[in-house]
Amino acid sequence: MKERDTRQYRAIMAIMFFFCHVSMSAQYADFQYDTELCTCNAQFDSTRYTRLQLQNTFDYLYGGGRTAYVETDATDFNEEPAVLLASLEQECRQKLEVLEHGEFINDAFWQKVRKRMIRYVKSTCELRRVTLLARSNPEVLSGYKLVDSDCIFFRNALIAGGSRLLRAWSVLNERQKKKNADPEHLQRIFEERYRSADRMEYARREILTYGWWNSAIRLLPHVDDKGFYENFNRLLRNIQCDCDEP
């Protein structure tokens, strides 16, 4: 009888140890986040990663890194280049500080995304910087290496100026007309500006924005969102989302 009681005691202790271990090894905390259409509530295991790691991963990596996106507009001609350059330098410095030295989910998938995001932010900052500098000195574009034949064509026109810039503007206008639902309207605008006393300034802005910039930005190492949804959801449990209709 005594031996049976001992076995029962050991079984009870084993069960208690198991539940104690489970309770200690997984401590769940609440986490709220907003996607483009949804407000979501979930839980994460705080013994595996911190709230800061999860928040940084969501803000700077998940969904293409909305917080990591550089907002300073290099083609904003309503603002002085010096003001935009100062804004750009501060923005790039702050975002790279978090991406390079902040805390993120430390697994193979998210660390790979992190490296790709750092590369993208550095690349887009460099492109925006030289584009702003090119307003007063187009020759700086010659030092920018991530180019294709279109970039080179528009870059050389900006550097040469004069009749070469005007010819490039005509080429750009013809390309835009092919993609526009009202090409006649575009042509009227082009002819009106071409005849104006400010035609060189019009040409410079059009080529810098719709020629050089639009060609160069397509070549940046953009970060696609393949696998983001699945890998982020693996970090959570009990996900409940309230979504608006698209």
93-140 tens-digit pLDDT: 999 999 999 999 999 999 999 999 999 999 999 999 999 999 999 999
Rounded distance, CA 92 to CA 126, Å?
10
- 158 contacts 165 by C-beta, under 8 angstroms: yes
Q: Which two tokens stand for residue 67?
A: 């917080």
Which residue, chain included where needed, has tokens 């330098």?
A: 89
Which stretches of the chain score pLDDT less than 70?
Answer: 1-26, 64, 246
What confidence score (pLDDT) does residue 22 get?
Answer: 44
**In angstroms, what CA-CA distances link 51 with 14, 55, 69?**
33, 6, 22
Amino acid at 103: E
Q: What is the pTM of this model?
A: 0.86
DSSP string, 108-159: HHHHHHHHHHHHHHHHHHHHHHHHHHTTT-GGGGGG-----HHHHHHHHHHH
pLDDT, tens only, 65-74: 778 899 999 9
What confidence score (pLDDT) does residue 245 get?
Answer: 76
Q: Where are the domains of the chain?
A: 49-137+220-234, 147-218
